[in-house]
Amino acid sequence: MSSLISIVGAGPGDPELLTVKALKRIQEADCILHDALVSDEIMNLSRPGAQRVYVGKLYQDGQDQTDRQEWINQLIIELAGKGQKVVRLKSGDPMIFGRGAEEIRFCIENNLNYEVIPGVTSALGAASLYGIPLTERGKNSMVLFGTGHYCEGDFCDLESFVSVLNSGSPVIFFMGLNKLVKLANRLMDHAVSPEIKVQILSKVSQPDATTFESTLGNIEQLMANEKPPMPALVIIGKNAKKLR
């Protein structure tokens, strides 16, 4: 087929954080299938006449995620059959909690011409924008990405979170804000210090970005008083402090 399916990372929101290649594909696209968190500023970079189709999801929006993905896959097939240049535009990076693997497999199984273009994930963007070292010589040599999802009644990978935090390295939680109080309590139940630092970074790189700093033991009070907006990233760690 002459069509090209570009699975593109849009970064955390600021259009200036797009890669050059991502910008080129957005400007060339006949159709953009975009997620909920892709900013209007980025969408407005598309060429006049390009079709835009919202295929995103939001927290508790009631969508069946299997049905949604099957619908997206069908759109990709239909557009590819018309020889169109399609951009599947995802916030952050397609391969970090972005379901990029599912869509890559679909393209392979259906012999579609595809490519994957990396994006700046919100975790790395936040660390650089706010001066929060994720690794630092003499302090820690690893970082763990996780989610606030449950598995069999408790947080997935809870033991790994505890082990990494107690080693002095940070854990970054995507999609965990709504369960943050419960997560803090479970970490402290497993002997993580209540004095460990917590950074809540809302709407990273966007004009209305806000940040909140606390300790694990004070999270419940902060959440009650401040109510940080979604989408938000949570960084927990002994050395999770802003340098500026």
At 52-103, the pLDDT tens digits run 999 987 666 667 778 888 999 999 999 999 999 999 999 999 999 988 999 9
Q: CA-to-CA distance for 111 and 53, rounded, in angstroms?
A: 23
Bridge-based pairing state of the strands 232-237 and 171-174 = antiparallel
Bridge-based pairing state of the strands 85-90 and 154-155 = unpaired
For residue 78, the 8-state DSSP code is H
The residues annotated with a catalytic role in the active site are: 35, 57
Reported pTM = 0.92
Which tokens in the block code for residue 163? Answer: 């082990």
Helix (H) or strand (E) holding 155: strand 154-155
Nearest alpha-carbon partner for 210 in 220, 218, 199: 199
Q: CA-to-CA distance for 189 and 52, rounded, in angstroms?
A: 47
The answer to whether the beta carbons of residues 19 and 213 sit under 8 Å apart is: no
> Per-residue pLDDT averaged across 133-144, rounded?
93
Check residue 98 and give its pLDDT: 86
pLDDT, mean over the chain: 94
> What's the chain's Rg over C-alpha atoms?
19
First to last CA, the chain: 51
| pLDDT at residue 37 is higher than 70 | yes
* Domains of the chain with CATH codes: 4-120 (3.40.1010.10), 123-237 (3.30.950.10)
* Identity of residue 212: F
